[in-house]
Structure 1
Amino acid sequence: MISVFIVEDRVEQQIYLRAILGSDHNFELLGIAKYGHEAQKQILKYQPDVVMIDIGLPDISGIDVVRNMKPLCENTKFMVLTVHEEDENVFEALKAGAQSYIVKKSKPYQILDGIRELHAGESPISSCIAVKLLQYFPSKIPEAEQSADVNVTPKEKDILDLLAKGHSYLEISSLCYISVKTLKWHIHNIYRKLHANNRTEALNKYFGR
């Protein structure tokens, strides 16, 4: 059971997210807050596994909520769920401590997959956001310049490319014609070779900052 707290001021979006979480018994909705100041009190009280938060709140920015609460809730992971795709918002949210950035137009299964991956230690990001992030990366480091122990196989390179585009595990397993269990084994090997602990760190190390 993954406990979730929602910070969203629009009633229709609250209803939509509540319905999505209610469709899967593996999720527990702890509560919903409309205002940032109220959310901070509730997050500190409940210490949820995942907080889904909008940026544009009536009182303070959702980014400020993440920045304020991250040091106080070390085990809570923050997913920014927003209509904003501007570069400044993306980087400010990630710098504040958010581990995931999902646009609201995502399909329900993509949102649920994103919560699962975030809870499992990944950093799910919508593909349109991932493209913006990759625009700031230089071209892939030439193989001769990579560390000698980074011997990435063709299959692992394909997986890295798909991870960079923001695909979920289920989508990658389908595109690569392998099971999710096999995919996780490949990702484990990728992390080991790159000395990385999560998706973002692995992509940074492989493609360059």
Structure 2
Amino acid sequence: MKKTRIGLIEDNKIIRDSVSRFIGFHEEFDVVSVHGSAESFFYSCQVNPQLNVDILLLDLGLPGLSGLNALPLIFDQMPDVDVVILTTYEEEDVILKALCSGACSYISKKASLPEIVDALRIVVQGGSYMSPSIAREIVNHLMGGRISKATILTDRQKEILEMLVDGKSYATISEQLFVSVETVRSHVKKLYKVLQVNNKTEAITKYMKGQIG
């Protein structure tokens, strides 16, 4: 059976050792290149021009050259490699930059070791793996950020929305929050704009669907 050659660039020694060791326990994989920095990886490629990997697990938060900046150089060195991001970064813009730079998969470091191996198997079969939390960020982006925008309500706006969900009137809300009815109405208009809805029913529907963080 031809083994899939695995490379790993990870600066945290504990993570680097545990991930590489666990992957090595599986017969279908051969861990051939393990490094603590991108610079070390490139130096290894220079010393051994024959070095090649099928899948490279890459951390983004590396000392020196970051994973994001290393990506194009990696593909210059190994055009056919499948790069799998393994990182703590789950921000939408970072994820998209990595994917647009050629990474095929994105795994959160919160994932278990078996999940990482399962992700590698998916990549071997030609697929792309995304940790659930990261997939949600991508969905948010594809939806034009509608859900992510909903999460930027202020605490007071969330409080008022929850009261609206409970069926309370503007007058009751103003009494309980010790503000004027006009202040309540102003908050409601702003939260409608943030949620991209036109009325209380639509706002409550989004809330009930769990689309507001």
Q: Which amino acid aligns with 1:113?
A: D
DSSP-derived class of the 2:141 partner: coil
Question: Which amino acid is the alignment partner of residue 69 of structure 1?
Answer: I
Percent of pairs identical after alignment? 23
Deviations 1:8-67 (A, max 9, x none): 111101111122112211110102111212212435742200000100111111111112
Instruction: Return the letter of the residue paired with 1:17.
Output: V
- The one-letter code matched in structure 1 to 2:36 is K
Pairs aligned (count): 139
Q: Counterpart amino acid of 2:15?
A: Q
The answer to whether the Cα contact below 8 Å between 1:40 and 1:65 also exists between their aligned partners in 2 is no
- RMSD value, Cα: 1.6
Q: In the TM superposition, what are the counterparts of 1:6-21 in structure 2 within 5 Å? A: 6-21=8-23
The residue type equivalent to 1:15 in the other structure is D
Q: Does the 8 Å CA contact 1:5/1:43 hold for their aligned counterparts?
A: no
Corresponding letter in the other structure for 1:13 = I
Relative to structure 1, the CA distance from residue 43 to residue 117 in structure 2 (aligned partners, 3 Å threshold; closer, same or farther) is farther
Change (3 A) 1:43 1:90: farther
Q: 1:74–1:120: structure 2 CA closer, same or farther, 3 Å change rule?
A: farther
The reply on whether 1:104 has 2:109 as its aligned counterpart is yes
Task: Report the equivalent of 1:22.
Answer: 24
What is the SS of the residue equivalent to 2:143? coil
Query: Counterpart of 1:187?
Result: none
Determine the C-alpha separation between the residues in 2 that align with 1:9 and 1:71.
Answer: 22
How much has 1:103 moved relative to structure 2? 0.5
8 Å Cα contact 2:6-2:55 kept in structure 1 = yes
TM value normalised by structure 1: 0.62
> Cα distance, 1:137 vs. partner?
1.8
Show structure 1 runs of 4+ deviating over 2 A: 40-45
What is the match of residue 135 of structure 1? 140
Higher radius of gyration, 1 or 2 = 2
User: Are the equivalent residues in 2 in contact too, given 1:50–1:76 (CA < 8 A)?
Assistant: yes
Q: Where does the alignment leave 5 or more consecutive residues of structure 2 unmatched?
A: 145-213
Higher relative contact order (CA 8 A, sep 6+): 1
Q: Is the 8 A contact 2:106 2:131 kept in 1?
A: yes
